[in-house]
Amino acid sequence: MPIYEYRCNKCRRRTNQFLRSFSEQKTPLCSSCGSLDLTRLVSKVTVMKSLGESLDWMPSYESLSDVNEDDPRDMARWMKRWRREMGTELGSEFRDMEDMLEAGIRPEDLSDGGEDSGEE
């Protein structure tokens, strides 16, 4: 069941067109402004895998050999490369960690003031 993605040439928004089969023909229509003037986009392809199969694609620890673990920005670069190699979105917490490292903040520099922080 294909989902085709289009960009409206009038309002510049993206819209999706769901078809029940590859042989089904439908005139695409912008869901925002109703225009028929659309350009078909090349969409990202998703391949479903089991957890075991997806772990086969994980970058090796050898890829960490050129990373300075004491430099948060270097760790952020490695995390971005790792995410690209995995070819999947890992969630907002992973992105937040990337952003924090990119800003030069190390996780151990943060303290939530909880029991584990050693503060009273």
pLDDT in tens, the chain (120 residues): 577 888 999 999 988 888 777 676 778 889 889 999 999 887 766 666 666 665 565 666 666 677 788 888 888 888 888 777 776 677 778 888 888 888 988 878 776 544 444 444
Q: Which domain holds residue 76?
A: 51-107
Structurally, how many domains does the chain consist of? 2
Is 68 within a domain? Answer: yes
Is 118 within a domain? Answer: no
Spatial contact of 17 and 28, defined as CB atoms under 8 Å apart: yes
pLDDT at residue number 8:
94
Which residues share a beta bridge with 15? 6
pLDDT at residue number 11:
94
pTM value?
0.41
Distinct helix (H) and strand (E) counts, the chain: 3, 3
Q: 83 — phi, psi (to 5°)? A: -60, -45
Question: CA–CA separation, 47 vs 80, rounded Å?
Answer: 20
- How many angstroms separate the first and last alpha carbons of the chain? 58
